[in-house]
Structures are given as structure tokens and as C-alpha cells.
Amino acid sequence: MKKPVVACALALVTLLGSSVPARAEIARVVSGARVLVRDVVPGAPPELADVDLGALPPPGGSRLVGRDDVVQAIRRAGKSERALAMTSSVRVTAPSRRIGRDELARIAREPLERAAPRGTRLVKVETPMDLVVPPGVVVDDPPPFSIVKKKGEQKVPLVLALVSPTSREIAARVPVTVTLDVSESALVTDVKKGDPLTVVVERAGLRITARGVAQDAVNIGEILRVVSANGRSHRARLRTREEAVLVEGT
């Protein structure tokens, strides 16, 4: 008789144990680059509220923050956890927005049109991927286009940055292919090879100028090679038809 009784008892314990709900974790969506105590414990004491719990996951990602994690962070900050009122783990999720390829091409079109070289027309924008980014990001100013001085359609590869509209912090980078229709007027550059230029060096509020000669045919805003009077070659960005600013690192 003992074995059936023990078996029944074990079955009862298992049944009762499985019917007791585990303490559910709490879910919170947190913005910003770092997770703080106040993000997981609303109403935390002021002396604990700003204790850093680590980096926020990437957009759409999450991490579980338990009481032990918070206690260790508080102690590392040289504070006491006695006033901490936290009974459940917290699932911290970073806010996100998914941008499909068609939507990205649409929102990138206007800044790309503004940046396209004179005499060109933007035909199409293509990107190979969807993006998951923080909400509210915008397309940053595109890098300079590099086109072949030849009439007709050209595909130009670029890398665009999506940034916060306030801090300008980069949230993501995405490769795009821009198709441009290059007209005759685009083939006439602001500066031709051999044109004289004033080369400008701007450092820490100082402005130094020197004479140089253009080694490339470019338009305003583009990078070219310039040979100075001492024969050295430099990279500079054409500011006007007469002036180019030395690029950092040259």
C-alpha cells in the first residue's frame, strides 16, 4: 500500500506545483542610450534613480534586468540598496520602427535630389534591405556624388546615414544605388584641370592661404587634388570657383 500512496502524493505535489503561477516579468519600453534605475523602478529614491544599469539594446531588442543586476549596479556606484523597492524582473525593450526598402527610397529621395550634381536628374533610388531603427530618425545629408563625365544614365553607389533629428547621432547606415540622368550641362565643371586656385587651411580658428593648381575637373562641393607651389599634392574640397579648402588629414 505504501507505493501507491507515495505515487499519489508525488502526483498531487506535481499538480499543485504546476498550478502555482510564477511571478511575471514586467515589460517597459525605454528610450535613450543607457538604462537607468528609474527606467526599471519608477519612483526609485532620488539617490538611486540615475544609477547606470548598462547600455540599451539595439532598436527592437530587449534585455532582462533582475533585482540582483540592479543591486550590483547600485553597490558599484558606492550606494546602498536598502531603499530599493523591486520585486519583479523587468524586460527592457528599445523602441523601434521598421523602414521597408520602398519607404526608405521615398524618404531618401528629397535629400538626394538636393545633393545631386548640377545638371543631373534623379531617376531612381534602390536599397537592398529593410531597416530597424529608433523612431523619428531622418536621412542625413548625403555624401558627395562621384559621377563619370559622360551623358546618359549612371548608377552611383552611396552610403546614407539615418540620424536623430536633434542630436544628429547616427542610428544606422544603409547602402543605396542612385540612378542619375546626366545632361550636357553636367559635363561642364566649375574648375578644370590646370586652373589656378587659392588653397585654404583652416585650423583652430586660423586661416592660412597658398596658391595651387587644380589637378582634377570638379564642381563646387567636390573633392579634388591640388598641387601647391612647393610641388606637394593635397586633397581639398572646392568651396568656390577660386578657392578650395584642405581636407583634414592631408
CATH code: domain of residue 209:
2.30.30.760
Q: Which pLDDT belongs to residue 19? A: 42
Q: Which of 74, 70, 75 is nearest to 86 (CA)?
A: 70
Grid coordinates representing 176 are: 543605396
| 27 shares its domain with 50 | yes
| 102 shares its domain with 146 | yes
Looking at 40, 63, 93, the residue that finishes a domain is 93
| 56 shares its domain with 7 | yes
Residues in the chain predicted with pLDDT less than 70, given as ranges, are: 1-24, 249-250
Per-position b or e across 44-66, b if 16+ CB within 10 A of its CB: beeebeebebeebeebeebbebe
| 9 shares its domain with 78 | yes
Three-class SS of residue 222? coil
User: Over the Cα atoms of the chain, what is R_g?
Assistant: 30
pLDDT tens digits, 199-228: 999 887 889 999 999 999 888 888 999 999
| 118 shares its domain with 142 | yes
d(CA 235, CA 55): 39
Beta-strand pair 223-228/26-29: unpaired
| 160 shares its domain with 221 | no
Looking at 143, 170, 187, the residue that finishes a domain is 187
CA separation, residue 79 to residues 46, 47, 61, 73 (Å): 12, 8, 29, 9
Full domain range(s) for residue 211: 196-246
| 103 shares its domain with 88 | no
d(CA 135, CA 31): 10
| 172 shares its domain with 123 | yes
Residue 210 CB partners (closer than 8 Å, separation 6+): 198, 199, 201, 228, 229
Biggest CA pair distance of the chain: 109
Is residue 111 within 8 Å of residue 142, measured between CB atoms?
yes
Domain tally for the chain?
A: 3
Instruction: Count CB-CB contacts under 10 A for residue 163.
Output: 19
Our CA angle for 233, 234, 235, nearest 5°, is 140
d(CA 228, CA 234): 8
d(CA 235, CA 214): 10
d(CA 10, CA 21): 19
